[in-house]
Amino acid sequence: MKLDLSGLESTVPHFGTSDGLSHGFPTAPSFDLPITGDFDGFQKEAIQMVKPAKGTTTLAFIFKEGVMVAADSRASMGGYISSQSVKKIIEINPHMLGTMAGGAADCQFWHRNLGIKCRLHELANKRRISVTGASKLLANILYSYRGMGLSVGTMIAGWDETGPGLYYVDSEGGRLKGTRFSVGSGSPYAYGVLDSGYRFDMSVEEAAELARRSIYHATFRDGASGGVASVYHVGPNGWTKMSGDDVGELHYKYYPVTPSTVEQEMGEVSGA
Amino acid sequence: MSIFEYNGSALVAMVGKNCFAIASDRRLGVQLQTIATDFQRIYQIHDRLFIGISGLATDAQTLYQRLVFRHKLYELREERDMKPETFASLVSAILYEKRFGPYFCQPVIAGLGDDDKPFICTMDAIGAKELAKDFVVAGSASESLYGACEAMFKPDMEPEELFETVSQALQASVDRDCLSGWGGHVYVVTPTEVKERILKGRMD
Band (pLDDT 50/70/90 cuts) for residue A18 is very low
Each residue of A77-118: pLDDT tens digit?
A: 878 898 899 999 999 889 999 998 988 888 889 999 999 999
Tell me how far apart the alpha carbons of residues A213 and A225 are, in angstroms, rounded to a whole number.
14
With CB atoms and an 8 Å threshold, state whether B177 touches A247. no
**Pick from A222, A251, A269: CB nearest B193:** A269
Judged on CB neighbours under 10 Å (0-12, 13-18, 19+), A266 is exposed
Size of interface A-B (CB pairs under 8 A): 84
Highest mean pLDDT pick, A12-21, A53-62, A121-130: A121-130
Q: B6: number of CA atoms within 13 Å, CB side? A: 11
More confident residue, A269 or A32: A32
Q: B19: number of CA atoms within 13 Å, CB side? A: 21
CA distance B71 to chain A (A): 18
Tell me how far apart the alpha carbons of residues A198 and B37 are, in angstroms, rounded to a whole number.
28
Band (pLDDT 50/70/90 cuts) for residue A17 is very low
pLDDT at B162 over 70: yes
Tell me how far apart the alpha carbons of residues B21 and A186 are, in angstroms, rounded to a whole number.
35
Minimum CA–CA partner of A72 in chain B: B204
Question: Could you tell me if A103 and A150 are in contact, meaning their C-beta atoms sit under 8 angstroms apart?
Answer: yes
With CB atoms and an 8 Å threshold, state whether A223 touches B203. no
Tell me how far apart the alpha carbons of residues A185 and A175 are, in angstroms, rounded to a whole number.
19
Question: How many angstroms separate the Cα of B101 from the Cα of each of B66, B94, B96, B116, B117?
Answer: 16, 12, 10, 37, 35
**Interface test mutation site (partner B, options A54, A251, A262, max chain B beta carbons within 10 A):** A251
Active site (annotated) includes residue A56: yes
Q: Catalytic one among A11, A27, A56, A132?
A: A56
> Helix axis angle, A104-125 relative to A131-144, nearest 10°?
130
For range A40-57, the mean pLDDT: 71
With CB atoms and an 8 Å threshold, state whether A272 touches B191. yes
- Residue A117 sits at the vertex; the CA angle it makes with A113 and A122, to the nearest 5 degrees, is 145
* Whether pTM exceeds 0.80: yes
pLDDT at A24 over 80: no
From chain B, pick out residues whose CB is under 8 angstroms from the CB of A256: none
Judged on CB neighbours under 10 Å (0-12, 13-18, 19+), A19 is exposed
Tell me how far apart the alpha carbons of residues A87 and B185 are, in angstroms, rounded to a whole number.
33
With CB atoms and an 8 Å threshold, state whether B5 touches A79. yes
H/E stretch holding B174? helix B159-174
Main-chain dihedrals φ then ψ at residue B145, nearest 5 degrees: -65, -40
From chain A, pick out residues whose CB is under 8 angstroms from the CB of B8: 79, 223
pLDDT at B67 over 90: yes
Q: Specify whether the backbone of A112 is left (phi greater than 0), alpha (psi in -120 to 50) or beta.
A: alpha
Q: What strand order describes the sheet that includes A163-170?
A: A89-93, A96-99, A153-160, A163-170, A175-177
For range A136-157, the mean pLDDT: 91
Main-chain dihedrals φ then ψ at residue A74, nearest 5 degrees: -100, 140
Minimum CA–CA partner of B31 in chain A: A223
- Residue A223 sits at the vertex; the CA angle it makes with B167 and B183, to the nearest 5 degrees, is 25
**Pick from B116, B140, B196: CB nearest A272:** B116
Tell me how far apart the alpha carbons of residues B140 and B10 are, in angstroms, rounded to a whole number.
6
Each residue of A159-189: pLDDT tens digit?
A: 999 999 999 999 988 999 999 999 999 999 9
**Pick from A84, A248, A269: CB nearest B194:** A269
**Interface test mutation site (partner B, options A84, A221, A270, max chain B beta carbons within 10 A):** A221
Tell me how far apart the alpha carbons of residues A100 and A81 are, in angstroms, rounded to a whole number.
17
From chain B, pick out residues whose CB is under 8 angstroms from the CB of A267: 193-194, 196
